[in-house]
Structure 1
């Protein structure tokens, strides 16, 4: 019974710990890894919000929406494969989560900028795949 109670509280404790971490002054590998994970989660959240905005604008064009979905799936596969390769020199080491996490965060931030550009398209811009508002 005690084990189940502890396991039930573990996510809550980890969440509280994650909020208490000072990523600007991370001094040990575990903290740096946690911070990299938090940064990736924040970038991923922003990317998903922008993706939802774009799919909303494409609701009247199922063909374009399918192209976006396919492109995003391919991009995610590329990002993950690229970062596995990028971090392969430290695979199995304690620094791997940091190197991999930083890579996916940077590539995600670049994709965020692409999505932001799509969302700035002006009505009538034939070179832009996302209709303006």
Structure 2
């Protein structure tokens, strides 16, 4: 069996990931980084991840603020709700980090040249999904 060049393997893997059904955890969303390869791709994904992390933190803070502002919930229930959200977020972060662990992704990629970008994409995708999930759970203003 012929060995594919690493860039061809990366492109093929991204095509496969992008063709998964909507909602699949491994789905790779289209991004501005798609046009890059190699270190440029890694740098672009690092920037996108920094933005996604800021958005996640903002959504989390918004969720905490929504709990505090909920006039219909008794104070003791708000404390429990907030504690549960904090625990859930910590657990989610642990799950994301374990799910996207470099060594896990690396094993899946046979530690090829696409490993770093694949690991970054995993973290990015899960972060974007969690941000959307948190925002969807916040009651809308209106």
What TM-score, normalized by structure 1, do the two folds share?
0.65
Provide the rounded CA distance (Å) in 2 between the counterparts of 1:92 and 1:65. 40
When residues 91 and 37 of structure 1 are mapped into structure 2, their CA distance, relative to the original with a 3 A threshold, is farther
Matches within 5 A, 1:1-133: 23=33, 25-26=35-36, 28-59=37-68, 60=75, 61-84=78-101, 85-90=104-109, 92-119=111-138, 121=139
Provide the rounded CA distance (Å) in 2 between the counterparts of 1:91 and 1:52. 38
- Give ranges in structure 2 of 5+ residues lacking alignment: 1-31, 69-74
Given that residues 36 and 97 in structure 1 are in contact (C-alpha distance below 8 angstroms), is that contact kept between their aligned partners in structure 2?
no
Of Structure 1 and Structure 2, the greater helix share is in: 1
- Give ranges in structure 1 of 5+ residues lacking alignment: 1-21, 123-131
Moved more, 68-77 or 108-117: 108-117
Following superposition, the deviation at residue 118 of structure 1 comes to 0.9
Provide the rounded CA distance (Å) in 1 between the counterparts of 2:110 and 2:93. 20
Partner secondary structure for residue 58 of structure 1: helix
- Report how many residues are paired: 101
Provide the rounded CA distance (Å) in 1 between the counterparts of 2:40 and 2:117. 10
